[in-house]
C-alpha cells in the first residue's frame, strides 16, 4: 500500500492555524493507523503460525507507540517486528496528531473482525482503506508543509546569527571548512531534504549536480575543504526572476545597439515577426523543500557525514 506521505513539499508561508490538526483528521489518522497495524499483525501471525506470540507483539507495539519516539535498536527489544511497525508510525506521523490509546483499542476491534470472505468483500475493504488514506493525505500534507516551512525559517534565522555562515544571493546560506580545494573539484556530498522529515543521500557529486542557485554564484564560493549550503524553498523562484531580468536587460541592450547602428534608416528586407507562443495551461507545481547540501573532496580524512543544524530539536 502507498505510504501516507511522500517527500515533503512546501508552499508559501501559511498561518499558524494551518499547523493544527482538526478533530476529524485526527480521527482519520488514528483509524488509518489502527487498520494498518491490525493488518500487519495478522500478516505476521499467518507467517509464524503457532510460533507467534500475540501478547508479546501487542505489548511491545503498545510500549513503543506510547513512548512517542522511535526506538533506535529494534533488535534489542522483546519483539523487533512490533517495534519496527511502531517506529514506522512514529516517523510518519507526529504523536500529537493521533490518539495512541484509541489506536490500541481500535486494533483489538479490527483484529476481532472477520477477514473478508471472498474477493468482492476484499475489494470493498481495500477501496474503503484507499479512500481513508486519500482523505488523510489530503488533510495532513498541508499541516506538514506549514510546520516544515516554519522550521526552515527558524533554521535560516538561527544561521544568520552565526558568524561562520555567509549570506549569498537568492537566499542561499553557506558555511565553509578552511582549506585550499576549489569547489569544481568536489567528489562527494550529502543532501538533506526537508527539516522535520528528510531523506539523506551520500553519493558522488559533480559541479552540475548542485542547484542553479549555487552555480550562478561561483565567484562567491571561496577555496575550502568543504562547503555546506542551505538552499531555501524560495531560491528557485528568485533564480527564475534573476534569469528573466537578465534576458530582458540583454534584449534592451541589443535593441539600443541596433538603434545606434541604424540611426534614422529603416531596416531593409523582411521584418522578423514576433513569435506568438500558444497559451498553455500551467500545471500546478508544488514547491520543493529546503535543501542542506555539504560537498567536499574525496579525502579519507573527511568522513561522509552531515553536520547537525543549529536547531537540533528540529532534525
| Beta pairing, strands 224-231 & 199-204 | unpaired
Domain-embedded: residue 32 = yes
Domain-embedded: residue 269 = no
Asked if residues 74 and 90 have their Cβ atoms less than 8 Å apart, the reply is no
Please, where are the H alpha helices in the chain? 23-48, 54-67, 80-92, 100-112, 119-160, 212-215, 235-262
Domain-embedded: residue 9 = no
* 124 and 209 together in one domain: no
* 190 and 300 together in one domain: yes
Residue whose C-alpha is closest to residue 34's, from 103, 99, 126: 103
Residue whose C-alpha is closest to residue 148's, from 2, 307, 14, 299: 14
* 128 and 211 together in one domain: no
Quick one: cell of 118?
Answer: 471472498
Contacts of 266 (CB under 8 A, 6+ apart): none
* Domain-ending residue, one of 109, 127, 159: 159
Domain-embedded: residue 241 = no
Give the model confidence (pLDDT) of 20-74 as tens digits.
Answer: 899 999 999 999 999 999 999 999 999 999 899 999 999 999 999 999 999 999 9
* 220 and 305 together in one domain: yes
* Domain-ending residue, one of 103, 135, 159: 159
Domain-embedded: residue 216 = yes
Burial 72-85 (b: 16+ CB within 10 A, else e): eebeebebebbbbb
Domain-embedded: residue 244 = no
The domain total for the chain is 2
pTM: 0.65
* Domain-ending residue, one of 115, 139, 159: 159
The domain containing residue 99 runs over which residues?
Answer: 16-159
Domain-embedded: residue 120 = yes
* 107 and 197 together in one domain: no
Contacts of 177 (CB under 8 A, 6+ apart): 224, 225, 226, 227, 228, 296
* 40 and 80 together in one domain: yes
Asked if residues 26 and 97 have their Cβ atoms less than 8 Å apart, the reply is yes
Q: What angle do CA 233, 236, 237 make, to 5 degrees?
A: 95
Which CA distances in Å does 120 have to 114, 211, 274? 14, 50, 60
Mean pLDDT for back-to-back runs of 10 residues, the chain (315 residues): 33 46 95 95 91 93 94 94 94 92 94 90 93 94 86 92 96 94 85 66 78 95 93 90 88 82 64 49 60 78 52 40
* 132 and 207 together in one domain: no
| CATH code of residue 228 | 3.10.50
* pLDDT at residue 283, as a whole number: 46
For cell 480521527, name the residue: 27
Domain-embedded: residue 265 = no
* 23 and 142 together in one domain: yes
* 152 and 93 together in one domain: yes
* 180 and 147 together in one domain: no
For cell 534565522, name the residue: 157
* 144 and 204 together in one domain: no
* 92 and 150 together in one domain: yes
Amino acid at each position: 500500500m502507498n505510504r501516507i506521505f511522500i517527500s515533503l513539499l512546501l508552499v508559501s508561508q501559511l498561518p499558524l492555524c494551518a499547523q493544527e490538526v482538526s478533530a476529524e483528521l485526527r480521527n482519520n489518522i488514528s483509524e488509518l493507523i489502527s487498520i494498518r497495524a491490525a493488518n500487519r499483525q495478522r500478516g505476521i501471525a499467518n507467517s509464524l503460525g503457532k510460533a507467534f506470540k500475540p501478547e508479546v507483539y501487542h505489548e511491545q507495539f503498545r510500549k513503543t507507540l506510547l513512548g512517542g519516539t522511535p526506538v533506535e535498536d529494534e533488535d534489542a527489544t522483546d519483539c523487533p517486528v512490533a517495534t519496527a511497525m511502531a517506529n514506522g508510525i512514529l516517523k510518519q506521523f507526529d504523536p500529537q496528531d493521533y490518539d495512541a490509546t484509541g489506536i490500541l483499542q481500535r486494533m483489538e476491534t479490527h483484529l476481532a473482525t472477520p477477514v473478508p470472505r471472498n474477493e468482492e468483500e476484499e475489494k470493498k475493504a481495500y477501496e474503503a482503506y484507499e479512500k481513508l488514506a486519500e482523505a488523510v493525505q489530503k488533510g495532513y500534507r498541508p499541516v506538514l508543509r506549514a510546520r516544515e516551512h516554519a522550521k526552515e525559517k527558524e533554521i535560516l534565522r538561527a544561521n544568520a546569527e552565526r558568524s561562520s555562515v555567509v549570506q549569498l544571493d537568492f537566499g542561499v546560506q553557506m558555511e565553509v571548512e578552511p582549506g585550499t580545494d576549489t569547489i569544481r573539484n568536489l567528489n562527494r556530498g550529502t543532501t538533506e531534504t526537508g527539516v522535520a522529515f528528510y531523506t539523506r543521500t551520500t553519493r558522488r557529486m559533480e559541479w552540475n549536480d548542485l542547484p542553479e542557485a549555487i552555480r550562478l554564484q561561483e565567484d562567491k564560493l571561496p577555496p575550502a575543504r568543504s562547503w555546506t549550503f542551505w538552499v531555501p524553498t524560495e531560491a528557485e523562484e528568485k533564480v527564475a526572476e534573476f534569469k528573466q531580468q537578465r534576458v530582458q536587460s540583454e534584449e534592451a541592450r541589443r535593441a539600443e545597439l541596433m538603434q545606434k547602428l541604424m540611426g534614422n534608416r529603416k531596416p531593409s528586407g523582411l521584418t522578423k515577426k514576433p513569435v506568438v507562443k500558444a497559451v498553455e495551461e500551467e500545471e500546478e507545481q508544488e514547491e520543493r523543500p529546503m535543501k542542506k547540501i555539504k560537498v567536499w573532496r574525496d579525502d579519507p580524512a573527511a568522513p561522509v557525514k552531515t553536520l547537525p543544524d543549529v536547531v537540533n530539536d528540529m532534525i
